[in-house]
């Protein structure tokens, strides 16, 4: 091979494209069911849009360069800053809350590994301009319903939910200085992939916390929501946060998603701009990386524009999701074939074939035929390899009588159809 695609970038051969299309169609149909409108933005943005807003991890992975006009630019690594920029520009005049979705291709120079590539497609669903937990519940419901549309239910996936405001109140109560919260979050974010000792070490060394504070932080993670209520329910800063999170869970329960969601205080998310509820969706077997991540980010709009609007949303990538769907046999193996492949016995029926094909296509069917006249066996082989649903056979006798024979490729059943009824 003289050329190969770059590491972490994918070719979508037709069968791969069919799988991608299957996923994206379910995403679009679901977003529309919840009355979200589709938008898009440019794949290249000013570098500045990501620096400081998204956080160190993503900025370290940017595809960035100086363009011919001396502008510092970057390929978009995520959609949220673009969304904030666009809503910041025109949002003042829009009815609130704004309900928007998008399916951008994103670029991050990551160490390529299972479930992580250097480009991916990501379903983004966001509500802008609504503080109530009903908005947080609505976007999580969209994410879960999108997975359900693909065949993944409560036995397959689970949303782990937390609230940064609750975590902040608990950590500050435990003695973490406010200026160390960021580094403490970074250590907590890695908890599910590391041993408790490694987390303790990070909290002590990276966040510079004293041994008793490290102990107080670690104690938080021994609890579920009831346990936290019992242990910290009367701490003034913690109580309202617990109550809000309860309301979030109750809202999701009445929407029918109780068995899909679980409180997990270790979920903080790697991006800096989250200010409230945060969640990640994982496969139940815990084999794969996160399928989806999101949360509330009430300060991002004011950071990139003159508008101050609260916001909540998520991003769901196609890479991990496709892996899970493939493992469950829930992805189409090949591109869909044509509805009809038209076959002619002799060259004389070719003009009729072209008229029949034209009429069937005008009626909205997909139609193929073997472009040059070859033996009937070869034409059937062609129909088979293209995965055609039915074959329309035009022979001299049939055409003389004004009919065609239509044969189902699945069952072999044949029927005669008048030519003027085809199409
Ligand atoms: P994120 O957690 O960085 O969030 O990405 C969301 C999802 O995109 C991940 O859970 C994963 O499925 C997928 N993903 C991310 N990076 C890669 C990669 N290198 N290869 C394959 N898949 C990947 C965000 O991007 C936020 N902007 C989401 C958001 C929208 N928050 C609020 N609104």
Q: Of all protein residues, whose CA lies closest to atom 11 belonging to ligand 1?
A: 317
Given this model, what pLDDT does residue 77 score? 97
**59-82 tens-digit pLDDT:** 899 999 999 999 999 999 999 999
Choosing from 36, 78, 322 the residue with most ligand 1 atoms within 8 A of its CB, the one to mutate for a pocket test is 78
Given this model, what pLDDT does residue 336 score? 87
- DSSP code for 286: -
From the CA of 116, give the closest atom in ligand 1. Answer: 20
Choosing from 113, 283, 317 the residue with most ligand 1 atoms within 8 A of its CB, the one to mutate for a pocket test is 317
Given this model, what pLDDT does residue 1 score? 78
Task: Decide if 400 contacts 364 (C-beta within 8 A).
Answer: no
The 44-46 sheet, strands edge to edge: 44-46, 72-75, 64-66
Taking CB atoms and a 6 Å cutoff, what residues make up the pocket around ligand 1?
A: 78-80, 108, 110, 116-117, 120, 122, 124, 126, 271, 290-294, 313-317, 319-320
Residue from 364, 358, 330, 325 nearest 342 by CA: 358
State the burial class of residue 377 (Cβ atoms within 10 Å of its Cβ: 0-12, 13-18, 19+): exposed
**288-333 tens-digit pLDDT:** 999 999 999 999 999 999 999 999 999 999 999 999 999 999 999 8
Q: Of all protein residues, whose CA lies closest to atom 2 belonging to ligand 1?
A: 293
Given this model, what pLDDT does residue 18 score? 95
Given this model, what pLDDT does residue 423 score? 73
Q: Of all protein residues, whose CA lies closest to atom 21 belonging to ligand 1?
A: 116
Given this model, what pLDDT does residue 142 score? 98
Is the pLDDT confidence value at 26 over 80?
yes
Provide the mean pLDDT of the chain: 96
Given this model, what pLDDT does residue 56 score? 76
Q: Mean per-residue pLDDT for 231-246?
A: 96
Percent of the chain with pLDDT over 90: 93
The residue among 342 and 332 whose pLDDT is bigger is 342
């Amino acid at each position: 091979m003289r050329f190969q695609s770059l590491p972490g970038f994918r070719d979508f051969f037709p069968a791969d494209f069919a799988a991608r299309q299957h996923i994206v169609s379910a995403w679009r149909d679901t977003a529309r069911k919840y009355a979200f409108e589709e938008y898009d933005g440019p794949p290249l943005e000013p570098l500045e849009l990501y620096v400081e807003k998204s956080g160190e991890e993503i900025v370290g992975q940017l595809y960035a360069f100086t363009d011919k006009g001396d502008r510092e630019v970057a390929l978009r690594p995520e959609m949220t800053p673009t969304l904030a920029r666009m809503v910041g520009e025109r949002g003042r005049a829009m009815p609130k809350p704004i309900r928007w979705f998008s399916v951008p291709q994103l670029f991050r120079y990551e160490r390529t590994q299972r479930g992580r590539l250097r480009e991916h497609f990501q379903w983004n669903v966001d509500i802008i301009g609504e503080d109530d937990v009903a908005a947080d519940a609505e976007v999580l419901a969209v994410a879960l319903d999108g997975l359900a549309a693909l065949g993944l239910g409560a036995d397959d996936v689970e949303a782990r939910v937390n609230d940064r405001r609750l975590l902040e109140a608990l950590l500050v109560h435990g003695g973490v200085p406010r200026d160390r919260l960021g580094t403490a979050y970074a250590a907590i974010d890695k908890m599910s992939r590391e041993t408790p000792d490694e987390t303790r070490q990070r909290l002590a060394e990276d966040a510079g916390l004293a041994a008793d504070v490290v102990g107080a932080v670690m104690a938080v993670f021994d609890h579920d929501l009831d346990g936290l209520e019992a242990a910290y329910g009367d701490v003034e800063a913690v109580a309202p946060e617990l109550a809000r999170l309860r309301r979030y869970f109750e809202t999701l329960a009445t929407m029918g998603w109780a068995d899909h969601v679980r409180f997990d205080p270790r979920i903080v998310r790697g991006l800096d701009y989250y200010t409230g509820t945060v969640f990640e969706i994982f496969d139940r077997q815990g084999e794969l990386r996160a399928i989806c991540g999101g949360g509330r980010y009430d300060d991002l709009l004011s950071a990139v524009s003159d508008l101050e609007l609260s916001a909540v949303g998520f991003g769901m990538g196609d890479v991990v999701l496709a892996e899970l769907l493939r493992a469950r046999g829930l992805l189409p193996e090949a591109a869909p074939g044509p509805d009809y492949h038209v076959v002619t016995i002799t060259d004389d029926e070719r003009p009729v074939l072209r008229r029949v094909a034209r009429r069937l296509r005008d009626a909205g069917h997909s139609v193929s035929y073997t472009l040059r006249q070859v033996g009937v066996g070869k034409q059937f082989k062609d129909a088979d390899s293209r995965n055609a649903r039915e074959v329309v056979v035009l022979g001299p006798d049939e055409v003389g009588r004004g009919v065609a024979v239509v044969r189902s490729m699945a069952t072999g059943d044949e029927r005669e159809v008048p030519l003027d009824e085809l199409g």
